[in-house]
């Protein structure tokens, strides 16, 4: 099983003919994702790689190719409009890889997404992958193996390190979700934890947080009161100085609640196994499974 994406995912790529969009489109096609449409305004009628029809609008792609999911690779200035367009076309899942989207733009996007009953993952995220089923985004497929461990992360490349640790030690993944590191995102830790709890095939969850904000503390409270499956966690930025942004736009400490130490205490208090380093993930899982 998996969450959010599976073999039935029919993907539309916004920005498919751009530098990043075309590169990752090829990776997703190679992985076996059902890429059924691309969108680049003004380039409708072309075929990407001789396989994927390109349309001028998302609505055309949905109508002609029956797409049900979109992934966005467009510049930050146009990304909010791309999200609006995808949701307005009736797509239930939109994954936005683009980083640098103004926070003010996202304050307008999120209510629109919620009103339409859609799910946004990101922005500024690596996307998600359900190993052997579908890959939407930029998570490398070669490090993932199918299995029963769910992964949800605010970090980017650290996600890959955790997945590598799991795969090389025989712990395959049901779905790996990168939720993004911006201050305003569409899908939270709690959304993913709830989905993993409901997924019959997911046996345990790895949660990767980082400094800044209080999302990890809220997730810890949810785990304490709402999850029966074991959860282990890691907090990135344990040596970061207060007041300085480290990596993601949301990773800035603005009080004691945003520090790695406070987040680690909250996780431990909720019964979550806390990693001091990524290499601890498998030993902690073995203790709880």
By annotation, the residues acting in catalysis are: 248
* C-beta atoms surrounding 271 within 10 Å: 13
Of 65, 64, 98, nearest to 82 by C-alpha is 98
The interaxial angle of helices 215-226 and 260-269, nearest 10 deg, is 0
The answer to whether residues 136 and 67 touch, using CB atoms and an 8 Å cutoff, is no
Task: Supply 270's token pair.
Answer: 């909720």
Pairing type for strands 173-178 and 127-130 reads: antiparallel
Those residues with Cβ within 8 angstroms of residue 267's Cβ, 6 or more apart along the chain or in another chain: 207, 209, 216, 220, 233, 235, 274
The answer to whether residues 94 and 74 touch, using CB atoms and an 8 Å cutoff, is no
Q: What is the DSSP string of 220-276?
A: HHHHHHH--S-EEEEEE-TTPPTTS--SSTT----SGGGSHHHHHHHHHHTTPEEPS
Pairing type for strands 93-96 and 119-121 reads: parallel
Cis preceding-peptide flag for 116 (omega within 30 of 0): no
The answer to whether residues 173 and 144 touch, using CB atoms and an 8 Å cutoff, is yes
């Amino acid at each position: 099983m998996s969450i959010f994406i599976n073999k039935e995912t029919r993907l539309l790529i916004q920005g498919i003919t751009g530098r990043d969009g075309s590169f990752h489109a090829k990776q997703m096609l190679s992985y076996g994702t059902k890429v059924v449409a691309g969108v680049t305004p003004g380039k409708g009628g072309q075929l990407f790689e001789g396989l994927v029809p390109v349309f001028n609008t998302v609505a055309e792609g949905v109508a002609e190719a029956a797409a049900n999911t979109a992934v966005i690779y467009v510049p930050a200035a146009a990304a909010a409009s791309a999200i609006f367009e995808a949701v307005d076309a009736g797509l239930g899942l939109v994954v936005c890889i683009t980083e640098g989207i103004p926070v003010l733009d996202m304050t307008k996007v999120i209510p629109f997404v919620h009103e339409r009953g859609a799910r946004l993952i990101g922005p500024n995220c690596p996307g998600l992958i359900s190993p052997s089923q579908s890959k939407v985004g930029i998570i490398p497929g070669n490090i993932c193996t199918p299995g029963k461990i769910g992964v949800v992360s605010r970090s980017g490349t650290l996600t890959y390190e955790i997945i590598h640790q799991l795969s090389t030690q025989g712990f395959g993944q049901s779905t790996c979700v990168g939720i993004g590191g911006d201050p305003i995102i569409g899908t939270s830790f709690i959304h993913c934890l709830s989905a993993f709890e409901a997924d019959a095939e997911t046996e345990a969850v790895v949660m990767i947080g980082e400094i800044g904000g209080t999302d990890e503390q809220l997730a810890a409270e949810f785990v304490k009161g709402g999850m029966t499956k074991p959860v282990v966690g890691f907090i990135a930025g344990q040596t970061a100085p207060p007041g300085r942004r480290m990596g993601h736009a949301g990773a800035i400490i603005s009080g004691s609640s945003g520090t790695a130490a406070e987040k680690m205490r909250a996780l431990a208090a909720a019964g979550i196994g806390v990693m001091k380093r990524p290499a601890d993930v498998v030993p902690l899982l073995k203790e709880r499974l």
